């Protein structure tokens, strides 16, 4: 028999989320880039100086497409106020992230974020809730990006008939379908996170103490604070821009990420890439533990001429 004590889908689907205004400057863009490892191995990296410095007289620094994930941070704190949804915030896990970039992100802007519920699924002992954030440049009204954040709420499932579990989505299923090829990767990129990586990345707005407080990390079952999943994604997309896009972030059309396992700051990330037409399938492994921690794909507008 279904137990609606944790989740009442009718109330959850009817909820209207508050719209959010977010203003950022070039300083925020540069701090984010450093937070996801830009110029971390080489402060003179000609591919990456443009994310933190006005290289060669450029008027504005370039913005990494994953910077748009910062726009979606305003949705998750609102989950605690959703009628008909009860869950333990300590048991929330970030499962997936989907991003669409409609135009290159400006280096300075005020963003108007509109948040809606994109999906709700009963998984038995847990539920999956998906928030969609559409981000508009406030001055022009232009749509810049879309972020869909999927979170796994342990202990909030079992609210529907087990033989016909509740499932609602408002987007195409193929946006989140991918499989890692059995063949050798097209290319591989190795990068090192710093022991202080999570402390630097959190300055971009994700202040969850799981990534900074040793006691919180241990209470969650980890030996120490872990790296943000979206920080790991930033490392992976940087690798793809460097190796496949030949340093041009504007070639990226959309990004999908599935978070598989935690990363400890200071570990080495190996990003494997497979090129299939205009899609780059990727998998990130931690070298020290030989474990896959992230997988997904990046859809490109075009290929670099050298490819």
Give me the active site residues, please. 206, 211, 226, 229
Task: At 281, give phi and psi (nearest 5°).
Answer: -90, 135
- DSSP letter at 185 equals P
Q: How many Å apart are CA 298 and CA 234, to the nearest integer? A: 12
CA–CA distances in Å: residue 287 to residues 20, 67, 190, 198, 266: 39, 26, 9, 18, 11
Assigned token pair, 249: 């972030």
Q: How many Å apart are CA 241 and CA 109, to the nearest integer? A: 23
Mode of pairing for the β-strands spanning 268-276 and 109-122? unpaired
Q: How many Å apart are CA 280 and CA 298, to the nearest integer? A: 5
CB atoms within 10 A of CB 264: 19
207-241 per-residue burial string, b: 16 or more CB within 10 A, e: under 16: ebebbbeeeebeeeeeeebbbbbbbbbbbbbbbbb
């Amino acid at each position: 028999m279904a137990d609606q004590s944790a989740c009442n889908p009718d109330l959850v689907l009817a909820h209207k989320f508050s719209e959010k205004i977010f203003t950022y400057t070039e300083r925020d863009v540069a701090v984010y880039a450093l937070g996801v490892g830009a110029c971390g191995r080489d402060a003179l990296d000609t591919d990456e100086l443009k994310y933190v410095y006005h290289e060669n007289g450029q008027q504005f620094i370039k913005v990494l497409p994953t910077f748009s994930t910062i726009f979606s941070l305003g949705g998750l704190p609102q989950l605690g106020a959703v009628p008909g949804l009860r869950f333990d915030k300590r048991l929330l896990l970030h499962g997936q992230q989907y991003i669409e970039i409609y135009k290159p992100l400006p280096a300075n802007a005020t963003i108007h974020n509109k948040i809606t519920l994109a999906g709700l699924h009963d998984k038995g002992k847990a539920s999956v809730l998906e928030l969609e954030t559409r981000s508009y440049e406030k001055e022009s009204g232009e749509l810049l990006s879309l972020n869909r954040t999927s979170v796994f709420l342990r202990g909030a499932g079992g609210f529907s008939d087990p033989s016909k579990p509740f499932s609602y989505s408002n987007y195409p299923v193929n946006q989140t379908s991918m499989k890692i090829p059995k063949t050798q990767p097209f290319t591989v990129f190795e990068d090192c996170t710093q022991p202080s990586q999570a402390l630097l990345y959190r300055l971009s707005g994700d202040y969850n103490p799981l990534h900074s407080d040793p006691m919180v990390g241990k209470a969650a079952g980890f030996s120490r604070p872990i790296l943000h999943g979206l920080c790991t994604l930033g490392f992976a997309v940087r690798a793809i821009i460097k190796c496949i896009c030949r340093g041009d972030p504007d070639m990226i059309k959309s990004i999908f990420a599935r978070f598989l396992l935690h990363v400890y700051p200071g570990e080495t990330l190996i990003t494997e890439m497979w090129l299939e037409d205009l899609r780059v399938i990727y998998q990130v492994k931690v070298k020290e533990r030989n474990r896959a921690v992230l997988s997904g794909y990046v859809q490109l507008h075009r290929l670099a001429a050298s490819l």
